[in-house]
Amino acid sequence: MRVTVGQVEVSADAGANVVVARSVVTEGARLGADLVVLPEYASAYDHRGVGPAHAQPFDGPFVRMLEEESAVGGLVVVAGVVLPSRSEGDDRASNAVVVVDRGTVVATYRKVHLYDAFGGRESERLEPGDPAAPAVVVDVAGLRLGVMTCYDLRFPESARRLVDAGAQVLVVPAAWVDGPLKADHWRTLAQARAIENVCAVVAVGQAGKGLVGRSLVVGPDGQVGLELDERAGVRTVDVDPDALVAARDRDATLTNRRYVVVPR
């Protein structure tokens, strides 16, 4: 599976974000990618807080562009977006990740763990996803991809639930906020999720003010095969399905487990 990682810088200018994201998808198509991953909040971002003013519906310009370009390129795009609230009377927005497969939105994950930590309060502007909603796992180029986002990476049960649903690769769009040790946390947690679940991790960070960037692709043994710095950049890498199967044949971690994960 060929993956294009789009570590882009995003602004509150919705039109500019469409242009930036389109360039990443077209670059992925040019290089023969099966999958393009854009960061959390790829449709709009403001470091002071993201909320209803940044939301677009599914038929808005950002998702429409993803549908058009993924159809032309014959590939799958995973991207963080800001959607309107699904709840009547709730004036917050929804932090979501869409999976667009060759012209069609085939899955949507709404962020379960809102970033109410390290001084942030996402829940003031964003509604949480339902922890009991079905795990979002999709097929891409012979592999099963599980979708989570950003702060979810700190919760191992989120990753394990996706793996229990069949995921071999965890895809993690993020806008990981910078701060003391935060870049270390990001890298360590991505490696931990890969090792404990014997899976690959494609963790794509957003570049820009107050964010760590540092997108990485991690193998099931925890080795980092691709890593960017804090600057915007686009890279393409191959993930070997046979290597993932072989890793699970050697490593009995998932077979030997004695607990299950259930929503609370």
Answer yes or no: are the C-beta atoms of 234 and 38 closer than 8 Å: no
Burial bucket for residue 240 (CB in 10 Å: 0-12, 13-18, 19+)? middle
Q: What DSSP line would sit under 44-106, residue for residue?
A: ---TT---GGG---TTSHHHHHHHHHHHHHT-EEEEEEEEE-SSTT---EEEEEEEEETTEEE
User: Can you tell me the distance from the alpha carbon of 24 to that of 27, in angstroms, rounded to the nearest whole number?
Assistant: 5
**What amino acid positions are annotated as catalytic residues?**
40, 111, 150
Residue type, 56: Q
Three-state DSSP class for residue 171? strand
User: Can you tell me the distance from the alpha carbon of 27 to that of 236, in angstroms, rounded to the nearest whole number?
Assistant: 9
Residue type, 190: A
User: Can you tell me the distance from the alpha carbon of 112 to that of 131, in angstroms, rounded to the nearest whole number?
Assistant: 6
